Amino acid sequence: QKEVEQNSGPLSVPEGAIASLNCTYSDRGSQSFFWYRQYSGKSPELIMSIYSNGDKEDGRFTAQLNKASQYVSLLIRDSQPSDSATYLCAVDNYGQNFVFGPGTRLSVLP
Amino acid sequence: NAGVTQTPKFRILKIGQSMTLQCAQDMNHNYMYWYRQDPGMGLKLIYYSVGAGITDKGEVPNGYNVSRSTTEDFPLRLELAAPSQTSVYFCASSFTVYEQYFGPGTRLTVT
């Protein structure tokens, strides 16, 4: 079974700062990587996907992938209190489904 | 589009009872999934389906059964409920394996 690891947090950052969320995975053959955001008591929602090494930017979010190091990260610029949530890293499992990490709880302090 | 719908939202079961969690999607997605999420934990895959008539086990299938007779519906059956099955259950669907869309969840307590 593939493993996906994340720091559980909580990660606390002041409003306006950059939040950096990290994820490592065990299977070097993994090809597709996803970040989901989950507000307390709600269902996960997809915020970013990344398939190639390097950076992918979407608004205030940047996903970074380094397949050689088996590492994927999510940067949130100009963090807002509304970004306070749990962020789940997901890695594809032989193209059939995902393996999710345990999630990192982010708290953005006003 | 309603997206992915789940019923019921909440349920309390006694040990040994059975129930079916309903999941439906109106996006004509081929792939459907059932996850459970224990407090403070990530999502664990129970079962998934790549199309009508095709189902496969995920990471934690014991104590559960599924069927997929139509593209739209993917019910999850709990037989002989146990306290270890207390969790929040999420159904998800996707057109391919990527970009899964999640339902609102069912919060189940077994006492």
Quote the tokens at residue B69: 């007779």
Contact A8 B103 (CB under 8 A): no
Q: How far is B100 from chain A (nearest CA, A)?
A: 7
Cα radius of gyration rounded to whole Å, chain B: 13
Give B31-87 pLDDT, tens digit per residue: 999 999 998 788 999 999 999 999 999 999 999 999 999 999 999 999 999 999 999
pLDDT of residue B39: 84
Question: Rounded to whole angstroms, how far apart are CA atoms B40 and B43?
Answer: 10
pLDDT of residue A110: 94
Mutate which: B55, B98, B107, vs A, most A CBs within 10 A: B98
Residue by residue, what is the 3-state secondary structure of chain A?
CCCEECCCCCEEEECCCCEEEEEEECCCCCCCEEEEEECCCCCCEEEEEECCCEEEEECCEEEEEECCCCEEEEEECCCCHHHCEEEEEEEEECCCEEEECCCEEEEEEC
Mutate which: B43, B66, B93, B102, vs A, most A CBs within 10 A: B43
Contact B59 A1 (CB under 8 A): yes
Q: Which element (helix H / strand E) includes A77?
A: none
Neighbouring-strand partners of residue B37: B43, B88
Nearest to B97 among A95, A100, A101 (CB): A95
Q: How far is B8 from chain A (nearest CA, A)?
A: 15
- C-alpha angle A57-A23-A17 in degrees, rounded to nearest 5: 55
Give A44-91 pLDDT, tens digit per residue: 999 999 999 999 999 999 999 999 999 999 999 999 999 999 999 999
